[in-house]
Structure 1
């Protein structure tokens, strides 16, 4: 049971990284994007291909996975910026499905539906971080989440964070104040994609294999649920939302009801969470994190 709970914590951390990236795009940029599964897949396969096929270490593949994911974030960000709301969601969803189909059919590079197996375990200072001995891997994931949370908290208080907040609240007013809307929206996509790519790298070395079937539309929906549940525009809330959603995902196994509850239960539950939260508490559990800016000091306020 302890081993299973550690598994949930590790996946909570990996998904928390994606939720932090989603929060930049949706919570701060105000863009309803459903493409985190695509960036997640790109990061996973970058690490899998470089480490399994070319002998790269995990730490060497990590920046490459982040940069490739960021590049695709730029590619998807630029043409879709003219779209809003449902249209943007559909376009970004299409990107995620394109990535999955490319991975499924590019046999020479990705090994098609069979995926890539025998990914080397990460090592640091001669110590192997064995995913089967979950404590060490959990510690590594926690460090990644803590660093990402710290950096993005700083980002939220920076000029870019203020600009994204202004764009989210009122694009016309932001543009009239001289804010380059296109530039900051693209920045949000690039940052959100890069952190999802890092999450993908961690996923690859945790499972020690990758297959296209892992990176479905439901992954993007789960990540969006995490952000909405915790509170958009709040990075700590995204981490809490990731843990709650993972607990819900593994609820049938935790309670021994996996044979009773149908596989579609998760999809129904995620949809229900989104609907209930939008009706009863649209600001999420913790709500949006407010900042006041003065002499470089941020002050946290209550939720709206």
Structure 2
């Protein structure tokens, strides 16, 4: 039995329990460094799970996703430094402009497939980078923006509470993002985009509009990606073109693949494991990405469905075992 727009009661219960556990976690984890790691897990989880919506569920080979993150970041930086807009309003503006940019990029790829979608979305990311560099008087160019204003809560200093305030803001964004994405994929829209992914000819013959679904999907995957980018700017108080680089793009894409395509939760789990594991092997230096790459390959070979698929398979095996033991 399901509730709302298709999210089951069991899933809602799991969401609530997970949110409560994460909300109480700072009582145990009081060290600023570990809280910083968790904040990065939340940011990466938002971006990776949003990418899974367009890449996994819709089957759109969108390689301009990190450009949407960068648009949210620079929107926040420019709005707060040049225009003097409130950081909270600038945060929302980052999500709105990222969604508008995603809707814009969806127009030239409405009728494209495969490698052509990759090329167009990749070119879009490069265009955004070049635009930022060319407008160095405002964006700082290759040097980036520094000393960006951060959030302000009356009577509370977010910079002196061992990152507790940033932790809860990031957690709220993560919870809202996860609920939003799950509502989308469990709705009739989710069924439509999966139908287009699996059999485009049959889906269009049943009246599903490719243009409409792609535009909504791209915009939906961009909203919280832009919000995460804006939060990233407020948290680190700087913005640079490094966020468009291959290193961060590869890391986020690895989280989507390792967690499991078309799962949402898999990306969140992979964000947690990869972020922590990457810190654990930081002493390996240049060998670190190689080790991570080998790990991802091994997991994908053993479990093509990713970590979430492996966990789901283990859960099904345990249920079957339980039913066998219960039967006479």
Can you give the 5+ residue segments of structure 1 that lack an aligned partner in the other structure?
291-300
> What's 2:177 paired with?
148
Asked if 1:157 corresponds to 2:186, the answer is yes
Distance 1:208 1:97, change over 3 A: same
Contact 2:303 2:310 in 1 (8 A): no
Tell me which moved more, 197-206 or 152-161: 152-161
The 5 Å alignment of 1:95-134 reads 95-130=124-159, 133-134=162-163
Tell me which moved more, 216-225 or 140-149: 216-225
> What's 2:303 paired with?
281
CA distance in 2, matches of 1:131, 1:263: 34
Can you give the 5+ residue segments of structure 2 that lack an aligned partner in the other structure?
1-29, 318-328
Contact 1:16 1:145 in 2 (8 A): yes
The 5 Å alignment of 1:167-206 reads 167-206=196-235
Contact 2:31 2:162 in 1 (8 A): no
The 5 Å alignment of 1:241-252 reads 241-252=270-281
Q: Tell me the C-alpha RMSD between the 2 structures.
A: 2.5
Task: Render the CA deviation track for 1:120-139: whole Å, top value 9, x for unaligned.
Answer: 12023543432872122111
> What's 1:208 paired with?
237
Structure with bigger gyration radius: 2
Contact 2:110 2:210 in 1 (8 A): no
Asked if 1:272 corresponds to 2:294, the answer is yes
Task: Render the CA deviation track for 1:192-230: whole Å, top value 9, x for unaligned.
Answer: 122211110010001011111233123222222111111
CA distance in 2, matches of 1:111, 1:240: 35
Distance 1:278 1:31, change over 3 A: farther
Distance 1:100 1:289, change over 3 A: farther
Distance 1:182 1:270, change over 3 A: farther
Residues matched between the structures, number? 286
Distance 1:3 1:190, change over 3 A: same
Higher helix share: 2
Matched residue SS, 1:127 = coil
> What's 1:9 paired with?
38
The 5 Å alignment of 1:42-61 reads 42-61=71-90
